[in-house]
Amino acid sequence: MNRQTDASRPDFMSMTVEELSAFVSSLGEKPYRASQLFSWMAKGAPLSGMTNLPAAFREKLAEAGEYRRPAIERKLVSAIDGTVKYLYRMTDGECVESVFMHYEHGTSLCVSSQAGCAMGCRFCASTLNGRARNLTASEILGQAAVTAYDTGERVDGIVLMGIGEPLDNYDNVVRFLRLVSDERGMGIGLRHISLSTCGLVPRIYDLAGEGLPVTLSVSLHASDDETRSALMPVNRRYPIAELLEACRAYFEKTGRRVSFEYTLIAGKNDSREDAARLANVLKKGMRAPCHVNLILLNEVKETGLATPQRARADAFMNELISRGVNATIRRRLGSDINASCGQLRLSRQKTEGEQGEELSP
């Protein structure tokens, strides 16, 4: 494998324009070069394509720092709906996935925040081999920038719903949010960004205080602690009542409606009673507007879990709605390219025999 990352060299795509100004000055360049460089990086351009920067400056950059622009290792395009799935290779050879989707109101990119995941959710492909490492802000931003570069399209919105737990890589993710929303770069509005978490409660409070009005999406997947702990080990640390309290605080602080993801798994959490209990728990715990996104389990062979019949999902949704809870079933894009995250990285790892760390509860 290609291992060329040198963490001791400045990672200039993770820098804000102000930090970049100081960096280019240290290389003997005029500070205005920083904005030019920032804007090129946000377009996903290779150094060789940054045509208004002098060649000598580009050489200095390559020597003095690391341009962590991800490379396209694989690209799959759905024949059904044009969804594009990328397997991006980082400069040290780690691979993560991003999925580019087209909706009526614009495009949306699902990005990864870690190489692998330590959270251990039973149904998820991304966590099967644990967490290899956090992605840097540049590596998260790079997925968006290179996708825009490769497709020639604007990325209108971002969902942090790919591989990894964003709040387990808090500092880099917050830095990424500031970089990607900077008007001098990609300029993606924070209101068009969703961050999905399995529920690291203290970090939800931290995020609420950052002044970044992103939509918080919380993976709930169960309406009682016993079921949730069996599906998601994180629930043993932060049970449902504490999690909902944090969600409520997030709403009060940011004014942003929280949304909940609920993956339906046959025989585990998909009965009418589950739906009724979920409605109750949300009403009591949130006491604020929220939305439930129902997801049909994407079956991962290794987990032995199965997806319910569509009729059962419809009944679940109707039960929620009849109890006054906003709910929809998520449309599945890119089904012919298995666009749900985690499985491409996993299949590549199998051929390479990589391993990562696991969560110590």
Where in 24-63 is the site for ligand SAH (CB under 6 A)? none
CA atoms within 13 A on the CB side of 340: 15
Is residue 111 a contact residue for ligand SAH (CB under 6 A)? Answer: no
| Residue 112 binds to ligand SAH (criterion: CB under 6 A) | no
97 noted as active-site residue: yes
For residue 14, give the DSSP letter: G
Q: Is 161 in the site for ligand SAH (CB under 6 A)?
A: yes
Residue list 340-359, contact with ligand SAH (CB under 6 A)? 340
Question: For helices 170-181 and 137-151, what crossing angle results, to 10°?
Answer: 40
- Of the candidates 29, 117, 341, 354, the residue annotated as catalytic is 341
Strand, helix or coil for residue 287: coil
Considering only residues 180 to 199 of the shown chain, the ones binding ligand SAH according to CB under 6 A are 196-198
SS3 346: helix
Beta carbon nearer to ligand SAH, 11 or 165 = 165
Binding part of the chain for ligand SAH, among 2-10, 16-24, 88-96, 119-127 by CB under 6 A, reads 119-127
Does 98 contact ligand SAH by CB under 6 A? no
**What order of strands is seen across the sheet that includes strand 84-89?**
71-77, 84-89, 95-103, 106-110, 157-160, 193-197, 215-219, 258-264, 290-296, 327-329
Helix (H, G, I), strand (E, B) or coil at 244: helix
What are the distances in angstroms from CA 146 to CA 67, 130, 317? 12, 26, 37
CB of 326 to ligand SAH, least distance (A): 17
The single residue of 66, 94, 97, 319 carrying the catalytic annotation is 97
Give catalytic status of residue 73 as yes or no: no
By CB under 6 A, name the binding residues for ligand SAH. Answer: 121, 123-124, 161, 165, 196-198, 219, 261, 263, 295, 297-298, 300, 340
